Chains A and B, each alone.
Chain A
Amino acid sequence: MNIDKYEIVIGLEVHAELKTNTKIFCNCTTKFGGEPNTHVCPVCLGLPGVLPVLNKKVVDFAIIAGLALDCEIAEYSKFDRKNYYYPDLPKNFQTSQYDLPICLNGYLDINVDGETKRIGITRIHMEEDAGKLVHGGETISSSDFSLVDYNRTGVPLLEIVSEPDMRSPLEARAYLEQLKAVLEYTEVSDCKMQEGSLRCDANISIMPKGSSVFGTRTEIKNLNSFRALQRALEYEILRQAEVVEEGGTVIQETRTWDDAKGITLPLRSKEEAHDYRYFPEPDLLPLVISRDWVERIKKTLPELPQARKERLIKEYGLPEYDAGIITGSKALADYFASCVNIYPEAKTISNWLMGDLTRLLNAGEKEITDSPITPEMLVEMLQLLDKGTISGKIAKTVFEEMFETGKRAEEIVKEKGLVQISDQASLEKMVDEVIGANPKSVEDYRAGKEKAIGFLVGQVMKLSKGKANPGLVNTMLREKMK
């Protein structure tokens, strides 16, 4: 099937949990985890008679996010009730914002294949999170009972709605990554997708290239990682194209992403969609946001990802690619900054961060903030490398060991006897042995085949269990084969 004849239209709705200490309408802690139903009070449990009191910090954070995404901050905003029945929602309505959200008309620039593209942001609004259902059985339908944990109920959320400006799954992913970076830099959200503090729903449709009329869209839920977002969109494009190719029409519906099977499945049709019966929340006063308030917050805005990327290129001479990756996560950029403060070789640091460290973090499903290797430890290892105490090859082993055990490089090197052998006398025996055992290669070398030297160095390295100084071995081999 040729999907190139279709134009793809994607818009994202992103929910970010805010990093306030307390919930949006009560004083309960927003801390993740905790024994079920311990971070609750009559207000967030929606007991009869309780009333919400707005946490002003939530408004501050919404304004920060709005400014960072170049939105207009509304002077007059209000809360509304979104009515629907679900056991994780104690009041059976969610206090949200409907027709007068706090932020409007912003944008976010993304970078795909070296091209910068501007994605419009329709609106940002504040709302409360729901609780969590724990099902008694394997799945919701096979369970005899379900339990509810209301710890998360009332944790403040921002819903950030984009314009349908993305034209590929890759752009959607880039938008989500960039948005995550902005929310991290401004410290309004932790953006931990595994913990659910950053969640994303995608709206997607296809239309013939050149058309100006959007096709019927589907909404995809349950996208819990960047990869899931990209895969789900790629799948959904094929599915929709297939429907059209077979002469059918795409049905407007909500679908869910099944990550294990790699497919989207129908959840509910347009007809089954809720009528949320929005109306103004009578228990909260409308929000009047003075321009002073906005100005005050504007002054506290931190450096944003784009600016930091440009600074890394300019100040440290990093390639644009490196700078983009490192500033893609605030934590990674902060890690880089800590390293570069005490060790001048920016590119070396960047290589280790993008290479080995990222690989180990991903394998261990760890965040950079949980890295057992601190910036100081990385730098100490780099200094051992510079001094020639260890070889590049050993460094990789040492680094893995550091990640595993949290021990310092020097300690590991001592413990495992990994110090590089740079003493000619100790190497002489091994070099002679290799020359004696590989007459063919020696002959090749003497016949002018440069490649053979690499093989011979490798043999010595092997013999020395990687500890030989490869530069010195190289020189010694050449000397002996003259």
Chain B
Amino acid sequence: MDLYRLTIHELHEMLIKKEISSLELIKNVIDRIEETDPKIKAYVTVVKEQSLAKAQEADDLISRGENVGPLTGIPMALKDNMCTEGIPTTCSSQILKNFVPPYDATVTRRLSDEGAILLGKLNMDEFAMGSSTENSAFFHTRNPWNTDCVPGGSSGGVVAAVAADEAVFTLGSDTGGSIRQPASFCGVVGLKPTYGYVSRYGLIAFASSLDQIGPVTKDVTDCALVLNAIAGHDPKDSTSADVQVPDFTKYLTGDVEGMKIGIPKEYFAEGIQPEVKDAVMTAVQQFADLGAEVEEVSLPHTEYALPAYYIIAPAECSSNLARYDGVRYGHRTEESEDIVTMFKKTRYEGFGQEVKRRIMLGTYALSSGYYDAYYLKALKVRTLIKEDFDRAFEKYDVLISPASPSTAFKFGEKLNDPLAMYMSDTMTIPINLAGIPGISVPCGFAQGLPIGLQIMGKAFGEGNILKAAYAYEQVAGFYRQKPNLTGEE
């Protein structure tokens, strides 16, 4: 039986009815990884022995009926920027290639406490900087729908693993679209929660004020189940919100009658692939058919989001990545006569082009004499963008747009044109600046490549997002489609 194809909620039913064991399930998914990952290359590290041992523990719990939750015994994997005690955590960078954290990220611990079983760590753009996972220092991850295409990024391995059924669910991180854009490219569900909803403790920082961890799943129900497990206050993260977390599955009613949906016109401007626009507009019509009230809305400062983001994120990254100097952990250059050359050579050898580019951008933006013109101005733009959303959410429950202006592109297509690469995040960046949540759900195909629908909500409005996403998913049904990887089906 192809257990690896199933969702969390389907597998949970089978586990508690003892139709299958967790061990059976883990073996099945590991077989799948061994079969398809040489082609997809989603995983940087697989912890086979550990996962089999944990499966045995989960089966013991299930047989005793103790502490069995929806994630107990379910195999999953994490983006390789979330710390896992004793397991390498590389950020897909040479500089952290040999880094083994002595501690677990809060999400790692929470999933482990819920009984979920870690299969391994997933490839990404180095330090989460990129939109195609081509910036991984190790290898390219391929899009399961078309292996000539990128999976998107930076969470390329994270979405490819779920799309290729190499994990039942995964966690990604999203700083400017790194969960939603690849989720749209690979036809899976990817949620970026409200900033502060999921603890960042143990997430290797790219841009602290924008980074957020979120689930990547096969359907919206699974997304709600994973969010239930990872959301909530963490005293180890000062920016973590101290708010009550509801049971998100209660929003999965299929009823969007009377829901007010705004369509931000700025997200449909030129440059958008026609099939993407058509698929999204079809989805909008389906919402209207379900009884939602749909209206066009304007978010006037949208065009300034990208430039503001490319000041703020690099500025924070230039400081966050300063610690990789070869003194304490990670790569250290072989050739150094003194401390300054050791710093320089270590960083020269350890970081890739894109990371260096952003460190340079950020260092410049924070330099004395430029701070006011760049960083401070970018912060003001950020406030204006947030106010755009605040106004829109006075009237609408959710906003709908494409998750990306295009479907997945080919390897190499944008690699040497950073601006073109940055433009692929225009739809996703604004909500990171505003700190609000957004999801990408599959809403069609163009030339065999998935298209993603982005649903945005107000801060801590994940319930409404999941409600809309679930209702749409049930009607549209795209989530049931799978890429053909083995040529058998």
Contact = CB atoms under 8 A, between A and B. Distances in A.
Interface of A: 42, 45-54, 81, 83, 85, 87, 90-93, 146, 148, 275, 277-279, 282-285
Given A49-B202, A50-B202, A85 B209 contact: no
B290 to A, nearest CB: 40
Given A53-B235, A148-B327, A279-B366, A47 B319 contact: no
A92 B325 contact: yes
11 contacts: A49-B89, A49-B105, A52-B238, A83-B322, A91-B322, A277-B363, A277-B367, A277-B368, A283-B238, A284-B239, A285-B239
A45 B328 contact: yes
Given A49-B83, A90-B328, A279-B315, A85 B236 contact: no
B233 to A, nearest CB: 12
Nearest to A284: B238
Interface string B75-107: 000000111000001010000100101110100
Contacts of A85: 322, 325, 343
B286 to A, nearest CB: 39
A48 B96 contact: yes
A44 B96 CA distance: 19
Given A277-B368, A282-B316, A283-B208, A51 B237 contact: yes
Given A52-B238, A53-B238, A46 B323 contact: yes
B263 interface: no
Contacts of B236: 51, 53
B471 interface: no
Contacts of B363: 277
Given A275-B367, A277-B319, A50 B201 contact: yes
B74 to A, nearest CB: 24
A285 B240 CA distance: 10
A54 to B, nearest CB: 7
B200 interface: yes
B375 interface: yes
A279 B238 contact: no
B323 A90 contact: yes
A148 B238 CA distance: 28
B204 interface: yes
Interface in B90-137: 91, 96, 99, 101-103, 105
Given A46-B323, A47-B328, A53-B237, 10 more contacts: A47-B101, A48-B83, A48-B96, A48-B204, A48-B324, A48-B329, A49-B82, A90-B327, A279-B315, A284-B238
Contacts of A91: 322-323
A85 B325 CA distance: 9
A351 to B, nearest CB: 54
Contacts of A93: 319, 322
B322 A49 contact: no
Given A42-B102, A50-B201, A87 B327 contact: yes
Interface in B215-234: none
Contacts of A92: 322-323, 325
Contacts of B202: 49-50
Nearest to A274: B368
Contacts of A81: 319
Nearest to A53: B238
B381 to A, nearest CB: 16
Contact of B325 (A53, A87, A285): A87
B261 interface: no
Contact of A51 (B201, B368, B371): B201
Contacts of B91: 48
A329 to B, nearest CB: 38
Contacts of A90: 323, 327-328
A277 B83 contact: no
B441 interface: no
Main SS of the interface on chain A?
A: loop
B385 interface: no
Nearest to B211: A282
B205 interface: yes
Contacts of B322: 83, 85, 91-93
A46 B316 CA distance: 15
B204 A282 contact: no
Given A92-B325, A277-B367, A285 B238 contact: yes
Nearest to A277: B366
A49 B101 CA distance: 9
A293 B99 CA distance: 43
A46 B323 CA distance: 7
Nearest to B326: A87
A282 B202 CA distance: 15
A273 B124 CA distance: 38
B29 interface: no
A279 B372 CA distance: 11
A93 B325 CA distance: 12
Nearest to A48: B204
A283 B206 CA distance: 12
Given A53-B235, A83-B366, A283-B239, A48 B105 contact: no
B76 to A, nearest CB: 19
Interface string B227-262: 000000001111100000000000000000000000
A93 B315 CA distance: 13
Contact of A49 (B203, B207, B238, B315): B203
Contacts of B328: 45-47, 90
Contacts of B324: 48
Interface in B317-340: 318-319, 322-325, 327-329, 339
A53 B234 CA distance: 11
Nearest to B205: A49
Given A49-B201, A277-B368, A54 B319 contact: no
A178 B250 CA distance: 65
B152 to A, nearest CB: 23
A279 B103 contact: no
A62 B83 CA distance: 34
Contacts of A52: 238
A363 B201 CA distance: 51
Contacts of B325: 85, 87, 92
A458 B322 CA distance: 74
A90 B343 CA distance: 13
B24 to A, nearest CB: 34
Interface in B184-219: 200-205, 207-209
Contacts of A51: 200-201, 236-239
Nearest to B375: A279
Contact of B319 (A45, A83, A87): A83
Contact of A42 (B82, B103, B203, B209): B103
A148 B329 CA distance: 13
A90 B326 CA distance: 11
Given A85-B322, A90-B323, A49 B339 contact: no
Which of B105, B202, B367 has the largest number of chain A CB atoms within 10 A? B202
Nearest to A91: B323
A92 B317 CA distance: 12
B181 to A, nearest CB: 23
A81 B235 CA distance: 21
Contacts of B339: 87, 146
A85 B202 CA distance: 23
A282 B238 contact: no
Contacts of A87: 325, 327, 339
A273 B207 CA distance: 27
A90 B325 CA distance: 9
Contacts of A45: 328
A282 B362 CA distance: 14
Which of B82, B339, B375 has the largest number of chain A CB atoms within 10 A? B339
Nearest to B95: A48
A49 B204 contact: yes
Given A42-B102, A49-B202, A275 B319 contact: no
Closest 4 CB pairs of A and B: A92-B322, A282-B208, A277-B366, A282-B209
Contacts of A285: 238-239
Interface in B292-318: 315-316, 318
